Amino acid sequence: DATDKGEFRHYMMKEIYEQPKVINACLEGRISENKVLTSCFGADSDFLKEVENVHIVACGTSYHAGLVAKYWIEDLAGVPCAVEVASEYRYRNVAVPKNTLFLTLSQSGETADTLAALRKAKEQGYLTTLAICNVPSSTLVRESALTLLTNAGAEIGVASTKAFTTQLTALLITSVAIAVEKGLSAEKESALVQAMRSLPAYVNAALLQDEHIQKVSDRFANKQHALFLGRGAMYPIALEGALKLKEISYIHAEAYPAGELKHGPLALVDENMPIITMVPHNDMLDKLKSNMQEVAARGGELYVFADRSTNLHNEDNIIFTEVPKVEEILEPIVHTIPLQLLSYHVAVVKGTDVDQPRNLAKSVTVE
C-alpha cells in the first residue's frame, strides 16, 4: 500500500527500497528471454522503423532521465537525439526534422510545462508522440498517441527516486527497440536484454551500502556546498545527485561534466567544498582519475562512488563507496542508488522535512 510507510521513517526511503521490485515491474512483459517486445508500445509500433530523430522534453528529475537516454539512443541506435526542458521548448521555435519522435517523460503526467510542450508538438508535424509516464490515468497519457508506463506505483516523496530509475529502465527498453530497427545485431540485443534482467539484483546489491553511506553522510552534513562530477552518461546522474541533495538537504550543489573542471569550478575547490564523483568503468576512467588528482592537489575532499575493479579505495582525502560492478549500459541506473541514499541521510542528519521539502511540490501543475 503506497500510503503506508511500513518499517521506514519516510516515504522517500520506502520508495528507494522499492526500486528492485518496481524495476522488475517495468521490465515485465517488455522483454522476452533475449528480445525487447515491441508490443509494449501498443499495436502501432511501426514508428520504430521510421524514426530518424528523437526530441525528448521533460522537467526536473524526468529531464535528467532524458539526458541519459540521449547517450543510449545515439550510442545504440545512431539516431540523433535532442533533450530539452519543457519550459524552454514550449516558448521557442523548434526545428523539427522529418520523422522525429516526440518523447515526453513525466512521473505525474500533469506537469503544466510538459503538457503545454506536448500540445505544441502536436502542431509541429512529428512522426508520433510517446509518453513515458507513471500515472496511467494522467492527462499526458490521454493526450499522447503512444504510452509506455513505468509501473513504479504511487510515489509520495517529493524527491523523485523510483520514478526516475523506472523511467531510465523504460528509456533503455525504448533505446534498444529503436536500435534493433536500425540494425543492432541479435547478439547485442540479447546481451542487453540479459543485462536488463540483472537490474533488480544489481539495485539490491547497491542498497547494501546503505549503512556505510549513512556514516559517510555524517561527515557531509555540515557542508554548505557540493560539486558533483561525472562523464558521459554519468554526467546526468551527477546532475540528478546534485538536484536530490539541493531538494531535501538544502545544501547548494552543482554538477559539472568532469572535463569542464578546469573551465571554472576548480577555482571553488578547497577543503570546504566536497566533490562527489561517479566513476564509470570505461575508457573514461583514467581521465576521471586525473580530474580527481586535480581536486586532491587543491585540498578537496573526494567522495568517490565506484566499483572495486577501478582500484580506487579510501585514502587520506578520498572517501570511497563501493558500487556493484555492472554492464556499462546499466551504470547510470545503478549509480543513482547511492546518491539517493546520500541525500536522504544528509537530510535526516540536518533534520529537514525529507518527504515534503520547503517550497517544493510533487507535481507542478501551474506555470
Q: Of 63, 111, 118, which Cα lies nearest the Cα of 90? A: 118
3-state secondary structure of 92: coil
From candidates 96, 156, 296, 360, binder to ligand G6P by CB under 6 A:
360
Q: Based on the shown chain and the rule CB under 6 A, indicate whether residue 158 belongs to the binding site for ligand G6P.
A: yes
Q: What count of Cα atoms within 13 Å lies in the side-chain half-sphere of residue 351?
A: 1
Q: Under rule CB under 6 A, how many of the chain's residues touch ligand G6P?
A: 15
Q: Based on the shown chain and the rule CB under 6 A, indicate whether residue 343 belongs to the binding site for ligand G6P.
A: no
Q: Based on the shown chain and the rule CB under 6 A, indicate whether residue 362 belongs to the binding site for ligand G6P.
A: yes
Residue facing ligand G6P at closest CB distance: 60
Q: Based on the shown chain and the rule CB under 6 A, indicate whether residue 59 belongs to the binding site for ligand G6P.
A: yes
Closer CB to ligand G6P, residue 11 or residue 202? 11
> Using a CB cutoff of 8 Å and minimum separation of 24, what contacts does 16-20 make?
16/161, 16/162, 16/207, 16/337, 16/340, 16/341, 16/344, 17/207, 18/152, 18/153, 18/162, 19/161, 19/162, 19/165, 19/166, 19/200, 19/203, 19/207, 19/337, 20/200, 20/201, 20/203, 20/204, 20/207
Smallest gap from Cβ 112 to ligand G6P, in A, equals: 9
Q: Based on the shown chain and the rule CB under 6 A, indicate whether residue 138 belongs to the binding site for ligand G6P.
A: no
Closer CB to ligand G6P, residue 159 or residue 203? 159
CA distances to 18, 24, 153, 345 from 12, rounded to whole Å, are: 10, 19, 13, 11
Smallest gap from Cβ 364 to ligand G6P, in A, equals: 5
Closer CB to ligand G6P, residue 105 or residue 346? 105
Q: Based on the shown chain and the rule CB under 6 A, indicate whether residue 106 belongs to the binding site for ligand G6P.
A: yes
Distance separating alpha carbons of residues 173 and 192, to the nearest angstrom? 9
Q: Based on the shown chain and the rule CB under 6 A, indicate whether residue 336 belongs to the binding site for ligand G6P.
A: no
CA angle in degrees (0–180, nearest 5) for 224-226-228: 170
Q: Answer whether 292's CB lies under 8 Å from 320's CB.
A: no
Smallest gap from Cβ 121 to ligand G6P, in A, equals: 15
Q: Based on the shown chain and the rule CB under 6 A, indicate whether residue 139 belongs to the binding site for ligand G6P.
A: no
Of 108-116, 123-131, 208-216, 303-311, the segment contacting ligand G6P by CB under 6 A is 108-116
Q: Based on the shown chain and the rule CB under 6 A, indicate whether residue 364 belongs to the binding site for ligand G6P.
A: yes
Q: Based on the shown chain and the rule CB under 6 A, indicate whether residue 338 belongs to the binding site for ligand G6P.
A: no
- Grid coordinates belonging to 260: 569542464
Closer CB to ligand G6P, residue 62 or residue 291? 62
Counting every residue, how long is the chain? 367
Query: 326 φ, ψ to 5°?
Result: -135, 170
3-state secondary structure of 149: strand
Q: Based on the shown chain and the rule CB under 6 A, indicate whether residue 111 belongs to the binding site for ligand G6P.
A: yes
Distance separating alpha carbons of residues 352 and 278, to the nearest angstrom? 25
Task: Give the DSSP H or E segment for 343.
Answer: helix 331-350
Smallest gap from Cβ 49 to ligand G6P, in A, equals: 29
Closer CB to ligand G6P, residue 158 or residue 261? 158
From candidates 61, 151, 161, 291, binder to ligand G6P by CB under 6 A:
61
- Active-site annotation holds for 362: yes
Q: Of 306, 333, 336, which Cα lies nearest the Cα of 321? A: 306
User: Would you please indicate which residues are annotated as catalytic (active-site) residues?
Assistant: 362
Contact residues for ligand G6P (CB under 6 A)?
59-62, 106-108, 111, 114, 158, 160, 360, 362-364
